[in-house]
Structure 1
Amino acid sequence: MSRADHMDVAAYALGVLDEQDTARFEEHLATCWACAAELETMVPVVGLLSGIDGETMTALEQTATDPRLLDRTLMAVRADRRRTRLRQLLATAAAVVVLGGLTAIGFHSVLEDVGPTDVVAEPTVTTPVDVPPTPGSPPTGLGIGGPNEVEGDQVTATDATTGVTATMFLVERDYGTQINFSLGRLPGPRTCRLVVVRADAGSEVVSTWSVPESGYGTNTRAQELELTAATAAKKDQIKQIQVQSVDARGVASPLVTVKP
């Protein structure tokens, strides 16, 4: 490769080569790491030169032979840069003032629209959390302490041995009976099931669930467990409903029994 090819880096960077020389240099550049490295170092310089117009270049050429002209040129450039920065600062300040004025006007308009009436805070809807009830407050659960009464016939029971409490609402449906129930003083961990015992001595498991270690309606977790189940038996066919605890071997033991 000729030495001229290596000397075309600056001309190529400045974009002064014709199409034929540009194509030739690019072929050379693809295989010459030295020219590629040199071209990379010239990129910032080319970016600076791109902002200089023809008149400025002519003035710079004249300053090469006239030192006084160089000083005047440099002073003019500095003054122009100061004026440019000042215009930018003034424009920014004006924008801030206008924006602030518009914001103040908009805020004043809103206040006028609202008028002197008192602002009433709307209630915030939050997700219920498990918190112990305050002393003296009534317990909450299905149909107890809530805004709406639960549909159905209510029956309650507390087992004297286990201490588990149950409140159940039996709703007669076309398909049988819907059972809405709430359990308290139910310790965990354990697996439980709801068994419906019919008057004809038949029985069926209508629901199963697991109780975490904190339990339900306990000192650790005050909230009671609320569930819904259903059975094909009509209300007058149900002899009793029993909540049972099932161990790892599948053996069930009663926790509380409710009789309609």
Structure 2
Amino acid sequence: MSRADHLDVAAYALGVLDQADTERFEEHLATCWACAAELETMVPVVGLLSGIDGETMSALEQTHTDPALLDRTLMAVRLDRRRDRFRQLLATAAAVVVFGGLTGIGFASIAGTDDGPQVVAEPTLTAPVTGPPSSKPSDPDDPGDGGTEHEGEQHNQVDPTTGVKTTMWLAKKEYGTQIDVYLTRLPGPRTCRLVVFRKNHTTEVVSTWAVPNGGYGTNLNQLPLELSASTSAGRDDITKIQVQSVDVKGVASPLVTLAGL
């Protein structure tokens, strides 16, 4: 029996021999313990090679004319399968990382060994992120809830006569006092002004503005009026702050007042 007959073991295991060669090899296999033993060792390799493409199969058919080609082909397929396995392990490791980040279970690291890459999960600890506890329930009408952050002490007032509603923030400054104003339920059209009253009974107009037809914070215009003003008066020198409406003759009337400051 020629050496080529012995090399048909791989081709026979892969099922690439034609009918005549298959019968010839089976006759040889019945009397050759070496080929029988080699064929037994090829069983796991056949499972590994079950997904190879037609080009590789064609190459295997040529191994009876080039003995070294079989070794090179099997080595190339093993390397390709090893790369596929490594890619699968990388995907598994990435999934472990994502899962660990979401649940706090841990993270994955990849270590290479002689038997191929391994995925090792290492535990970590995560702490929940929570905000500070609220000291009071949220008020949807409070401009400070989810709105612009304002500096200073907050004062709320609704005038029982005009219905105008305001929230004001007073902040001490080196130059005096900063006043942030939030107004709703303010009808228009009209001209308004913001007046500061001092302990020495003097007054100071710190801001003026025009209110459009739709007003501010009304059914016609739901947007509030927000403005900021400053006064040279120190915070402790202010007794009250008033929003006034001024008519065409210059006569002022109060719309809403913060008193007892």
Q: TM-score range by the shorter chain?
A: 0.3 to 0.5
Higher relative contact order (CA 8 A, sep 6+): 1
Greater strand fraction, Structure 1 or Structure 2:
2
TM-score (norm 2): 0.45
TM-score of the aligned structures, taking structure 1 as reference length: 0.46
